[in-house]
Chains A and B, each alone.
Chain A
Amino acid sequence: MPTMTYLQAIGDAMREEMRSDERVFVMGEDIGVFGGAFKVTDGFIEEFGAGRVMDTPLAESGIIGTAIGAAVEGLRPITEMQFADFVSCGFDQLVNVAGKMYYRQGLSVNITVRLPSGGGFSGGPFHSQNPEAWFMHAPGLKVVAPSTAEDAKGLLISAVRDPNPVVYMEHKHLYRRVKGDVPEGTYETPFSARVAREGTDLAVIAYGAMVHTALEATADIDGASVEVLDLRSLVPLDEEAILASVRKCSKVVIVDEANQTCATGAQVAALIAERAWEDLDGPVVRVATPDVPIPFSPSLEQAVLPQVDDVREACRELLEY
């Protein structure tokens, strides 16, 4: 089984799907000749040609809107927003046209919208956001967020094959930092959670880059047995997996890199309050980015994004509760 970076696994997923299904094509800004701002589609235009590796005008609404049109004709476009932040310019097409189309018209919209998201490298307020909750709140959109190379490939293939619009959050900070064994060929990863590490004393619930932060933070807290649940899919949210971790551990820390208000973690906390109250042995604790734009300077950025020490301290306090 080959070892790939998270970034290579994303590219591999698209390449394999394009080889096996002529309906699949990729489109976005600078993805063709240049290979994409992060080189995810490097070499694609040579293999598949400019028709299926489409350099588009600088127009995010245009990218999503035209992808919708191609999808309802039976194609399976994979669109790249150069940065997740730029999806704000395509928000209307994604939320109002794509998200509501099947409910209103019975017309399925098979598009995948790739959103390179997340901070940690001085990208500043417009290149660091985690906008997944915007789309969790919009009916009709699925939202997934892989943390490993294997899941990056499998979730992207599942997204491309799903007849619904899928927002695929790929964390930029994981692109080249995370490596792993990735099966060859094509395979689908289900839109459900994954236990990243088994444990019994406390459960940390996270997704995307924060899974790695959680694993590192809880590798050794005075010998405590800490479970880490990787949500992988935010819509649909794997409620049973969340409740199972809570029942087993009785203490929960939820970690978001996103701004805290109405974030994924807020939804998870609400679920636990509604359905697992009797299983708790302490308050639900959240670690998230406060409601501020992501600042540029490293000292400021580190001050707002959840760090390993922040998560470790939150876990230690809850374990002592």
Chain B
Amino acid sequence: MATETAQRSAEPGDVSEHLTKEDRIGLLRAMLMMRGIEERAMTLYRQGKVPGSFYDGYGQEAVSAGAAWAMAPRDRLCILHRDLAAHVIRGVPAARIFAQYMGREGGITGGRDGNVHFGDRTKGCVGMVSMLPDMMLVATGLAMAFKLRREERCAITWFGDGSTSRGDFHEAMNWAGVQRLPVIFVLENNQYAYSTPLDQQFAVDPVERAAAYGFPGLTVDGNDCEAMFEAVREARERAIGGGGPTLIEAVTMRMHGHAAHDDMKYVPKAQIEEWRAKDPIDRQVKRVEALGVDVQALRDEVKAEIERGVEEALAMPMPDPDTAADRVFADEPALLEDGNAPWSGFARTS
């Protein structure tokens, strides 16, 4: 769209000087974990071991991996349903993710909510709700707390192109702009909101709206995890320095249906083929292979970890029906805690 934005290179290359070899491998590993877990879970769904429906982020792995890689331990994340890599990076083990999908006791929500509706509070993550983009306001409130306490911390949230049509998008963008809050809004533009294409969702690319709220908006190649990392790293630097929020539009493609039942007949085949050539994992594999890394060994290691997670989850019990009405109210405060932040940049400064 005709907007003056920082469009980043679609070609694999060194887009960030802030990533070490280990970081770049770590980014690939997080994306492989996401894809591997979701592919395995889809099989479990077809076998009837995952109740409800199943939602995945195939083809969008770079958006959550790159963004989450830039977040510090005490930062907070409100994660969307096609952003599994963010959970992986914060330290949620595969077994608990599979248990979550299967509605088991050991899932993050203990079977009280399904599929990707989870956030591990002990890792600094808040679980999403189905009403989108409600979590934009929650992330804005997290940032409000940081500002009130004068802490150098940042909140981040992801939401889709469809979310930009709802009032909470406006309320959060406006609020964050008025109060200049340390929050990063990642607009995950994956071309379709369920079956609705972009041209039926908005008349103007929503990244342009950022200017109207008084802060920067930029468009990033959402299939390049390093470009995502760099954009979020810069936004975070600005946020914790008092420079206010940033809207980052990550352009990507939802390569699967909205959920497992959706055959995507409304998507032209050519569009799928076009985006298949931009696969975010293939692109990072090339970079990492160029660094002399044995990617096949990494794939094998990830696969083994995922299989261990499946076995562990399948051994977990279903929740006790007698507990279904428990835990509606809290007796004691249970708040967010800090999560993993593997980026080497934090290790260097801490």
Chain A residues in the interface with B (C-beta under 8 A): 25, 51-52, 56-57, 59, 61-62, 64-75, 92-93, 96-97, 100-108, 110, 139-140, 142, 163-164
Contacts and interface: CB of A to CB of B under 8 A. Distances in A.
A254 B127 CA distance: 41
B137 A107 contact: no
Contacts of B129: 96-97, 100
Given A57-B175, A65-B168, A73 B142 contact: yes
B109 A52 contact: no
9 contacts: A52-B148, A59-B174, A61-B167, A69-B143, A70-B144, A74-B145, A107-B127, A163-B330, A164-B329
Give the contact-size bracket for chain B: 35 or more
Contacts of B180: none
A105 B109 contact: yes
Given A71-B141, A72-B142, 14 more contacts: A57-B174, A57-B175, A66-B140, A69-B137, A73-B141, A93-B134, A93-B137, A102-B329, A104-B112, A105-B108, A105-B121, A107-B119, A107-B126, A108-B330
A72 B76 CA distance: 10
A73 B119 contact: no
Contacts of A57: 171, 174-175, 178
Nearest to A64: B137
Contact of A73 (B109, B328, B331, B335): B335
A67 B144 CA distance: 9
Contacts of A110: 333
Contacts of A140: 328-329
A108 B148 CA distance: 20
B139 interface: yes
Contact of B142 (A69, A104, A105): A69
B118 interface: yes
A68 B141 CA distance: 7
Contacts of A73: 76, 141-142, 145-146, 335-336
B261 interface: no
A69 B329 CA distance: 18
B138 interface: yes
Contacts of A52: 148
Contacts of B174: 57, 59, 62
B2 interface: no
B333 A108 contact: yes
A101 B333 CA distance: 12
B145 A65 contact: no
In this complex, the member of A56, A64, A106 whose beta carbon has the largest number of chain B beta carbons within 10 angstroms is A106
Contact of A70 (B118, B142, B172, B333): B142
B117 interface: yes
B330 A164 contact: yes
B134 to A, nearest CB: 5
- Which of B131, B137, B139, B331 is the most central at the interface, judged by chain A CB atoms within 10 Å of its CB? B137
Contacts of A75: 145, 148
Given A75-B148, A140-B329, A106 B334 contact: yes
Nearest to B153: A73
Interface in B163-191: 167-168, 171-172, 174-175, 178
Contacts of B118: 104-105
A92 B130 CA distance: 11
B265 interface: no
Contacts of B168: 61-62, 65, 92-93
A69 B178 contact: no
B141 A65 contact: yes
A72 to B, nearest CB: 5
A309 to B, nearest CB: 40
A57 B177 CA distance: 11
Nearest to A77: B141
Given A66-B144, A93-B137, A103 B328 contact: yes
B332 interface: yes
A92 B171 contact: no
B134 A106 contact: no
B155 interface: yes
Contacts of A103: 112, 327-328
Nearest to B119: A105
A182 to B, nearest CB: 28
B79 to A, nearest CB: 12
Contact of B145 (A61, A62, A70): A70
Given A57-B171, A59-B175, A61-B171, A107 B145 contact: no
B152 interface: no
B333 A96 contact: no
Nearest to B326: A103
B142 to A, nearest CB: 4
Interface string B271-314: 00000000000000000000000000000000000000000000
Contacts of A66: 137-138, 140-141, 144, 175
B113 interface: yes
A107 B329 contact: no
Contact of A106 (B136, B155, B327): B327
B242 to A, nearest CB: 14
Contacts of A62: 137, 140, 168, 171-172, 174-175
A212 B144 CA distance: 41
Nearest to A110: B333
B109 to A, nearest CB: 5
Given A61-B171, A66-B144, A72-B335, A105 B127 contact: yes
A69 B155 contact: yes
Contacts of A92: 131, 134, 168
A289 B108 CA distance: 44
Contacts of B335: 72-74, 107-108
Instruction: Give 5 nearest A-B pairs by CB, closest first.
Output: A69-B141, A65-B137, A66-B141, A108-B330, A62-B171
A97 B134 contact: yes
A70 B126 contact: no
A107 B118 CA distance: 11
